[in-house]
Each structure stands twice: as structure tokens, then as C-alpha cells.
Amino acid sequence: MTNLTRADFETLDKNDTLAPLRDQFSLAQDLIYLDGNSLGVLPKATAAHVQQVITQQWGVDLIRSWNCNQWMQKPAQLGDKIGQLIGAEAGQVLACDTTSINIFKLAAAAVKMRPGRSKLITETGNFATDLYLLQGLAKLLGDQVQVVALPREQVLDAIDDDTALVLLTHVHFKTGAMWDMPAVTQQVQQHGALMMWDLCHSVGAMPIHLDRVNADLAVGCTYKYLNGGPGSPAFVYVAKRLQAEFEQPLTGWLGHAKPFDFNDEYQGANGIQQAMCGTPPVLANAALEVALDVMLQADLNQVRQKSSHMGDLFIQLVQQRCPWFQLSSPVDKAIRGSQVSLVHDQGYAIIQALIERNIIGDFRAPDHLRFGFTPLYLRYVDLWDTVDALVDIMTHDLWKQPKFLAKQAVT
């Protein structure tokens, strides 16, 4: 393997067909942002659109906007746009609530659809909220179900005919390791269980084909690779073939078949609408819509190709120049998401030292330095420059300054 030079990365940028998309994002030229897998960058068109929704739709049209500006229809409309990004035909996705709440809805519905089965299987070290919501549900239901959380390599063997649901995050938040979605889905279904995919760390970073893999249930967030904005609405997917028996317990008025009849008895709407609960967040939906429209301009196969290539290059650079780190992500791009994580027991301080140089990656306790590759706005030279900075910081022990060592909460 020949040694790479910065010129190689400049050439890659020149030939990058996705490069023009960077212009649609508001991102300082001197900033290297490798944290789009935690909070995506602001699309340039967002501010003006949200402003219009605030000043005209809310300020002038007021209450009429629920109809005339289709505020009420947005969760389904945005859901269908997200559907295009995850291989879901219309009518199976809603933009609503948070990933956490949507996990609860789907897990509770899964328990109901698989009566008599007691296991909710997931992986230890999964993103914490996935574990916690299953635990919250199990506790609420008493002895009816139990959470079985196992190390990654033991998960598949544990699936049996007593399994109601398997919940896995498609791409692991810390390591970037990716599950084989078609194979796992099939294996879960062979045991008569339901599979829920958490797509938080893969949606927008690669093509996903929920319908094609015969998926059951999925959730995900929109503020990472989708650039919907901080705390933007999450989404929920329920396969068409399950919708007739799908019943989730957060039976808010907007999941009712006829919400404006104000009947005393809940009667769930048909289809994915039953996954709705309360009143939709209009301003957040406005920001999300702009972001999805940008995302939909990109070919997700190209996105995946660039992201995988970036990961390969970053790993190659680290292996050539950074002996201080252990690689936590898979080397094989076929099972790696759109991030590369390095392990170092002083990871926090090292990330802080990078941030001071305007290179933003993030830290995940206790020891992960996480670098996300977001092909819509990341340049190949950013990878070179990041590793260059890392080499400098490590060679000269620059991270040992007290200001870098002092810990505070980082998201």
C-alpha cells in the first residue's frame, strides 16, 4: 500500500460528484466537522423556510394553517419522504415524537402481536435509550416479558420461539459496526419473532431497503445524517402487512380514526396513522422538510460509496501515521457504517485538542474517539487534515494541557 499524500485527497475532491451538495449547507470553510453523525449541519435553506412558517403560517394564517398549510398532514408527508430514503413505499412511515418514544410504541405493539412470547432481545452496549425503553416496558408489564441483552456475538444464537422482538441498531453508535439487515431480519422471522431496526446511525448514510428485506418495524432519528436540526422529530416504520394488527399503547388523539369527533372511546386510525400520538411540532417539521428535500437530491448509492471510501482512507491514514490508537470499527467496509472510531484512554482530551483546532469529532465514554463521515458536505482533504492534526497533537503531547483534560458532559 503506497503512502497517501494530501494531493491524493485534493484529486478525490475534484472528482467527487457529490461535492456540489456542500454548497447547500451553512458550514464555515475552515471547520472540519466530523460529528454529523451526532448533529447534522444546517442546510442553507432552513432558516428562511422556518422564518416563513413562523411569520406567515403561524403569525398571519394562525389556526387556519392546520388545514391551509397542511400542518396536520406533515407527519405523514415527511414520513413518506423519509420512506424514500429507507426503501419504504408510501403509507408506512410517520415523522413524530422521539426515537425513544417510538421504540416504546413499537416494542409494546410487538409484545401484543406476539402473545405468549416472553423475550425482548437486544445487544449489550446498544445505544442506551434502546435498552432503557425495553426495560421500561418490561417493568411496566410485570412478568409478561423480560429483556434479554447479550453481547453482540451472542445475540443471533439467543433468538428462539419464545422471542417476541429483537431490537438492534443497524449501525452501532460507538463502533460503527453494521448488522447484516436482510440476514438478521430473516433469521428473526424464521423464529416467528418481530424485528425492529433502529436506523439512527444509518438513515441518510446509505441505501436502506426496508420493504425489500421484508422488514417488520423500524425507528430512527432525523438530526444526524438527515440534518433535520437539533432534536428534530424521529420516525417510525410499520410494514404494511402488519398494520392491520398493529396497536400501540400511546393512544393519543391524533392516532384516532376520527380525532375531531372527540369521541370518548379510542378507536385507532387505519394504517400508519395509529402510530401518531399528540400534536405535531410544526416548527421542527418545517426544518425537517427542508433537510429531507436536500437529502433527496443525493443518490444514496453514491453517498454510500463516498462514505465507505472515506472510511477506508481514514483507516489507512491512521494505520500509517497514528500508532497511538486502536481501531474500534470494522476494517471491512461491507460491515462498517459511516463512521470510524478509535480507542484511546485519553480520548476525551484528544478530542478537545482537536476541537480547539476547529476539527470536531466526538467522544463516547469511556474511551471512544468517534469520527463521522457525512458525504453531503465532507471533503476528502478534511480526512487528511484531521489525521495531520491528530499526529501533531499526539507527537507533541498537546492533549495533556489541563484545559483539555477537564471533563464535562458532551453529546
Instruction: Round to whole Å and give the CA distance between 150 and 111.
Output: 19
CB of 19 vs a copy of itself, minimal distance in Å: 20
Nearer to a copy of itself, 9 or 71 (CB): 71
CB of 267 vs a copy of itself, minimal distance in Å: 9
Pick the closest to residue 97 from 284, 249, 286 (CA basis): 284
Instruction: Round to whole Å and give the CA distance between 393 and 346.
Output: 12
Pick the closest to residue 225 from 21, 31, 40, 46 (CA basis): 40
Pick the closest to residue 122 from 102, 101, 138 (CA basis): 138
359, amino acid identity: I
Nearer to a copy of itself, 126 or 185 (CB): 126
CB of 116 vs a copy of itself, minimal distance in Å: 14
**Which three cell numbers mark 411?**
453529546
CB of 305 vs a copy of itself, minimal distance in Å: 26
Nearer to a copy of itself, 27 or 393 (CB): 27
Nearer to a copy of itself, 253 or 324 (CB): 253
CB of 379 vs a copy of itself, minimal distance in Å: 17
Cβ-based neighbours of 213, under 8 Å, separated by 6 or more: 87, 181, 182, 185, 186
- Work out the number of other CB atoms within 10 angstroms of the CB of residue 256: 20
Q: What are the φ and ψ backbone dihedral angles of 87, each rounded to 5 degrees?
A: 70, 40
Return the active site residues.
127, 198, 223-224, 370
Q: Which DSSP state fits 19?
A: G
CB of 133 vs a copy of itself, minimal distance in Å: 6
Instruction: Round to whole Å and give the CA distance between 307 and 205.
Output: 7
CB of 7 vs a copy of itself, minimal distance in Å: 29
Instruction: Round to whole Å and give the CA distance between 383 and 397.
Output: 21
DSSP assignment of 89-145: -TTSEEE-S-HHHHHHHHHHHHHHHSTT--EEEEETTS-HHHHHHHHHHHHHTTTS-
Instruction: Round to whole Å and give the CA distance between 290 and 149.
Output: 38
- Which residue is it, cell 452496549? 125
CB of 37 vs a copy of itself, minimal distance in Å: 10
Nearer to a copy of itself, 7 or 406 (CB): 406
Nearer to a copy of itself, 87 or 136 (CB): 136
Q: How far is CA 379 from the centre of its chain?
A: 21
Nearer to a copy of itself, 249 or 271 (CB): 249
Nearer to a copy of itself, 12 or 389 (CB): 389
Instruction: Round to whole Å and give the CA distance between 371 and 353.
Output: 14
Q: Are strands 93-95 and 362-364 parallel, antiparallel or unpaired?
A: unpaired
- Work out the number of other CB atoms within 10 angstroms of the CB of residue 202: 27
